[in-house]
């Protein structure tokens, strides 16, 4: 990269990413508190179990696992070690969107540190992708 040339990975993206991380964390904590309170202290838990065999709930679960599968593919693409991707995949299956949000926040930490969006999307493959696109 030539000096003075602005790219998408420049410092102008960093405030947006910091704000996005903080908002996602706030949403995650609020959602976790709502679920814990709703399932532990109300009748919602028993109502949830009554709704489980319906078509609507099957569609919701299919959507959840389809999204988890896409995030799993991204994790296997991004991560250098397969065992790390396997651990994340198990958490996606067991914890659903809460684990997905955690993984996205974990992946965003490299953007804040390096100011590089390519590392967010491509993980350890980012340098080789950039080198191939420049040649």
In a domain, 5, yes or no: no
* The pLDDT of residue 56: 75
In a domain, 3, yes or no: no
Q: Which two tokens stand for residue 97?
A: 């969107």
Q: What is the pLDDT of residues 31-88, one digit of tens each?
A: 777 766 666 666 655 666 666 677 777 788 788 888 888 999 999 998 889 899 999 9
* The pLDDT of residue 86: 92
In a domain, 18, yes or no: yes
Mean pLDDT over each residue of the chain, to the nearest integer: 75
In a domain, 6, yes or no: no
In a domain, 78, yes or no: yes
In a domain, 114, yes or no: yes
Q: What is the pLDDT of residues 107-126, one digit of tens each?
A: 888 777 777 787 888 887 77
* Distances from the Cα of 71 to the Cα of 22, 25, 87, 131, angstroms: 21, 18, 13, 26
* The pLDDT of residue 42: 62
In a domain, 35, yes or no: yes
In a domain, 2, yes or no: no
How far is residue 66's CA from residue 57's CA, in Å, rounded to a whole number? 14
* The pLDDT of residue 27: 78
Contact 107, 120 (CB under 8 A): yes
Higher pLDDT, 100 or 60: 100
How many structural domains comprise the chain?
Answer: 1
Range of the domain at 34: 11-134
């Amino acid at each position: 990269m030539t000096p003075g040339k602005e790219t998408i990975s420049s410092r102008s993206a960093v405030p947006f990413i910091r704000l996005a991380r903080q908002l996602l964390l706030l949403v995650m904590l609020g959602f976790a508190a709502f679920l814990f309170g709703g399932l532990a202290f109300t009748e919602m838990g028993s109502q949830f179990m009554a709704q489980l065999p319906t078509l609507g709930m099957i569609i919701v679960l299919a959507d959840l696992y389809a999204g988890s599968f896409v995030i799993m593919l991204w994790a296997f693409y991004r991560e250098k070690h397969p065992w790390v991707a396997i651990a994340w995949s198990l958490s996606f299956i067991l914890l659903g969107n809460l684990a997905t949000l955690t993984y996205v926040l974990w992946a965003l930490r490299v953007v804040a540190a390096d100011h590089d969006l390519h590392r967010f999307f491509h993980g350890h493959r980012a340098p080789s992708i950039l080198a191939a696109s420049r040649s």
